[in-house]
Amino acid sequence: MSAKGSIDLSLLGSGQLKFNGWRFYNDFEKQTSLLTFAFNAYPEYGKSFVDLKFTFVEAGNSNNSYYYPKD
């Protein structure tokens, strides 16, 4: 896998995190899924990002069940 992109110099030190995309692969034989994602992080000067958390919502589920990644 390879990635290419650019750095937005105007966002340096802004504290913004820009989500760029994602891909997933389901292995039905092993009953597993692989999720990869891409983002650009522009932490504030002297700080860093500690966590990145995703909230998973089952599509088409009327009771809005949420699935969270394990800690």
> For 20-48, what is each residue's pLDDT tens digit?
888 888 888 988 888 888 888 899 999 88
CB 46 within 8 A of CB 28: no
Q: Give the 3-state secondary structure of residue 56.
A: strand
Q: Give the 3-state secondary structure of residue 57.
A: strand
Spatial CA neighbour of 41 closest among 24, 19, 23: 19
Give the pLDDT score at 4. Answer: 67
Residue 64 has pLDDT above 60, yes or no: no
